[in-house]
Chains A and B, each alone.
Chain A
């Protein structure tokens, strides 16, 4: 009950302080560019096929081309959601202590874990809704512009929300230990390392380079963000790699 009240307050703050609107405005720009880019790729692929004079021989299977575009889109959404999670929650506790706004709340008849849980819930709801909307936009673009429906959508969406859940937990934990600024730097650096680590690992996998895979795994074990966050190779892309 108190937890829900704090969660509501957290959401209300994000709306009132225009965080939500700023993120939505920027996301709309991203979606617009994404739709435009997707259309260009589709046009290119079709022009290429036309040049071949209808001979069914493609540079890459169309399915793989579209799947790459979807992966790019989701990778961006994943990144944006991560950044949003970190910056929304970076001062969840510390900035309220620094400002003194927490004093009158802690002294009310509720347990401290209810305050933490409420904020956690509020941020999680906000990020989950954001990811769902952006995920939906990417998939819809792929479906309507590229005439392609990627597989394992529910698993992908869940994994992306899980990424932000991990980041949120880490950020909230840091917010109870560090000052807002230190927490922001620490969590963002970890996030950057994990993202790069994830990329290194995936490139390593596709090149069959064990050292790269190990470096990648090691850095993303630190923060398990990209390992579960990246769109796992689909059947078609795996086929492409082995081809």
Chain B
């Protein structure tokens, strides 16, 4: 594979100077993981600032989970380096301040929820008194209060996933990795997780959210990165990543060549097709919302009959599909 990644990082990245920004919760430079000839992650460079919710998106098999596994220390990168909370991968202190809910969440289900959280609190180095106070709090946070004495085995999948979430945040980590945290959840469970993520952000916790549920990511993320075929194909704030400007669908009657000039002055015509003798349906890309009103009034002054005006903002899904299509095309082209 040989995708060039010159456009991978957008201009919104902060200057990193010597590559060690104390404000960064995650900093990965050229991470690569190959299993024999199969490259799971090609050349991953990304920065996540402290205190933000970072959405990590990509189609199935893009290398999302491999990336999370490298960052959490489950597997070692073939090459490249990364820092968590300013410390090298595998550092004990960094691990102590990191929480993780794996995609394939399976726990020692012969433990009760209380015991489970106690064990993981201990593993994270929490003192006994702190654990005792924190466990009911964490259970309550994920909507499992009163279930502490039940064995995990008796829990539904969704409840187990929420118990796993409680495990990830029991020790009040500064950085938390959530790998598909809503995969087993019903809409109510999803809302709980969303609220938990927002709570975490309010407390200044950095959340690395790995998901293919775009709407979920869109609702909570400050910034996103889109991964395809092992490389970051776009990263930045959602509103920056979305297509600049607004696409407007219009239907205009009494069309003549002057109209074409007016539209061309204000924006870019993306599509134009005559419906019948004088009615034209077109799509225009405008730089800002104010231009919609101006375009409409100018067309009306010039004698046009406006039948329809529909502004359409690019959704994360549009962006995602476009980027993935583009990069897939590039890949095929270079082969």
Contact = CB atoms under 8 A, between A and B. Distances in A.
The answer to whether A and B assemble together is: yes
A100 B93 contact: no
A12 B118 CA distance: 14
A152 interface: no
Interface in B99-145: 100-102, 104-108, 110-111, 119-120, 122-125
Contacts of A105: 123
A163 to B, nearest CB: 29
Contact of A107 (B95, B105, B106, B107): B95
B80 interface: no
B123 A110 contact: yes
B228 interface: no
B91 to A, nearest CB: 9
B124 A104 contact: no
Nearest to A5: B122
Given A109-B124, A109-B125, A99 B106 contact: yes
Interface SS of chain A: helix, strand, loop or mixed? helix
Nearest to B164: A104
Interface in B149-192: 164, 167-168
Interface in A79-124: 99-101, 103-110
- Chain B contact-residue range equals 20 to 34
Contact of B120 (A2, A104, A106): A104
Contact of A104 (B92, B96, B100): B100
A241 interface: no
A40 interface: no
Contact of B74 (A2, A12, A101, A107): A107
Given A16-B110, A103-B74, A108 B123 contact: yes
Contact of B98 (A9, A106, A107): A107
Contacts of B168: 104
A58 interface: no
Contact of A103 (B93, B104, B124): B104
Contact of B102 (A16, A100, A108): A100
Nearest to A115: B123
Contact of B73 (A12, A13, A107): A107
A23 to B, nearest CB: 17
B122 to A, nearest CB: 6
Contacts of A100: 102, 104-106
Q: Which residue, A12, A16, A101, A108, has most C-beta atoms of chain B within 10 A?
A: A108
Contacts of A13: 108, 110
B95 A17 contact: no
A106 B92 CA distance: 11
A100 B65 CA distance: 14
A17 B106 CA distance: 16
Contacts of B67: none
A108 B96 CA distance: 7
A100 B108 CA distance: 10
A9 B104 CA distance: 21
Contacts of B102: 100, 103-104
B107 A109 contact: no
Contacts of A110: 92, 123
23 contacts: A2-B123, A5-B119, A5-B122, A9-B108, A12-B110, A13-B110, A16-B111, A100-B102, A100-B106, A103-B100, A104-B100, A104-B164, A104-B167, A106-B73, A106-B74, A107-B74, A107-B98, A107-B100, A108-B120, A109-B92, A109-B96, A109-B124, A110-B92
Interface of B: 72-74, 92-93, 95-96, 98, 100-102, 104-108, 110-111, 119-120, 122-125, 164, 167-168
